Amino acid sequence: MEAVGVPRAMRADARRNYERIICAAREAFGEQGAEAALDDVAKRAGVGAGTLYRHFPTRDALIEAVYRADIVALVDSAYRLVDELPPKEALEAWLREQVRFVVYKNGLAQTLKAAMDRGSETFAWCRTSITEAATLVVTNAQKAGVVREDLTGSALLRLGHGIGVAAVNASEGDGACMFKVVLAGLRPE
């Protein structure tokens, strides 16, 4: 599945500028919210305003690109982990990455999602892609007999999100305990 709105082919310098803008925007949005000054984003990225607007003609386009890039990284990790680790370890490692993503991105993700049209192609693509990644991890673990047969990719996403949101205001020990309890509940009956 190809990401909506991602440029197909770019010169190396244009690709570097694109990626620097995404990183700078993520940082600025994390500090100042979705209303961060785009001139500040360009300055942080070390590009001119024209370069920023050439890649992202609107604030919404930049917000969607940041959100999409974060989801792509999480999705890619699911496929990598399934290839590299035994099924149980892949599921646990990916769930841990998802929880970390939720904790780390708590404010930023909420800001970006709120600023993005839930009916947008990008939002739909992100939702579909992350659900497919979670389903891959779950199905792989189910085939190996290491997780419950009634677990779905969507349920794993909700569990990870719940742990992440709860862990934001919990001690490190409480967060680790919640994670262990959920893992125990995923074991086959």
State the Cα–Cα distance between residues 3 and 6, nearest whole angstrom. Answer: 6
The per-type count for the chain, helices as H runs and strands as E runs, is 8, 0
Question: Tens-digit pLDDT profile for the chain (189 aa)?
Answer: 344 445 557 788 888 999 999 999 988 988 888 888 999 999 999 999 999 999 999 988 898 898 889 899 999 999 999 999 999 999 999 999 999 888 877 666 666 666 666 677 888 888 899 999 999 999 999 999 999 999 999 999 999 999 988 888 888 888 889 999 999 999 998
CA dist 43 → 55, 70, 107, 143 (Å): 15, 21, 23, 50
List the domain boundaries for the chain: 59-186
Fold for 59-186, please state it: Tetracycline Repressor; domain 2 (1.10.357)
Q: For the whole model, what pTM was predicted?
A: 0.81
